Amino acid sequence: MHKPVKESALAHKYLDGLKGIEIGGASYNAFGLDTINVDIKADTLSSSKSAQYGVEPMPIDVISPGEDLPFEDKSYDFVISSHVIEHFYDPIKALIEWQRVARKYIFIICPHKDRMFDRDKDTTTYDELLFRRNVDYVKQEHCHQSFWDTEAFVEVCEALNFNIVEIQDTDDKVGNGFTVVIKLD
């Protein structure tokens, strides 16, 4: 038997009544929002984890890399991701792509490195991410590529001139991450 999915009051505050894209959605971590689920392939880590939790996997509506979405500019109200951004080797590319397709918000829950198995890893800096943008790399599947605390991730968003409207140092969904809400113009 699985325990009920806790939804995020913060996500509902900003995203209720809007239509969005969820990157790498999982039924064991559902938000209860009006979204389509985009994932990189049909059989993902979230599918096998859903089975562990005794729930059906969340259907994947579009198979696509999260940093190269097949949607028109400003075609959805928001992009939401939970425990996904750290898997991108070039998270700047993903954030810029999400900004391209979303009209109103980017909503991110990211694992806080000190509350996860990544606590011994060096914090990923904005300068390191800029360096990565010029290096070819073959991503290791389902591996965390970046390791942030709240402050370090906010620094990345501020360097990209994103308008952060709300931050939760401890997310109200799972509790092992932080939340950043970005408002788009």
Enumerate the domain spans of the chain. Answer: 9-183
Q: What is the mean pLDDT of the chain?
A: 90
- pLDDT for residue 99 is more than 50: yes
The C-alpha angle 45, 48, 50, rounded to 5 degrees, equals: 105
Tokens of 40: 């990189």
Predicted confidence at residue 142, as pLDDT, reads: 67
More reliable by pLDDT, 43 or 64: 64
pTM above 0.85, yes or no: yes
Q: Beta-carbon neighbour count of residue 84 at 10 Å? A: 23
Query: DSSP letters along 104-171, please?
Result: EEEEEEEEBGGGSTTTTSPPPPHHHHHHHTTS---PPTT-----B-HHHHHHHHHHTT-EEEEEESS-
- Contact assessment for residue 113 and residue 147, using Cβ atoms and an 8 Å cutoff: yes
Calculate the CA 5 to chain-centre distance.
Answer: 18
Mean pLDDT of 115-130: 91
Mean pLDDT of 70-92: 96
What is the fold, at CATH topology level, of the domain defined by 9-183?
Rossmann fold (3.40.50)
Quote the percentage of the chain above a pLDDT of 70: 88
Q: Beta-carbon neighbour count of residue 152 at 10 Å? A: 17
- pLDDT for residue 68 is more than 80: yes
Q: Which of 18-32, 76-90, 140-154, 166-180 has the lowest mean pLDDT?
A: 140-154
- pLDDT for residue 164 is more than 70: yes
Q: Is 18 helix (H, G, I), strand (E, B) or coil?
A: coil
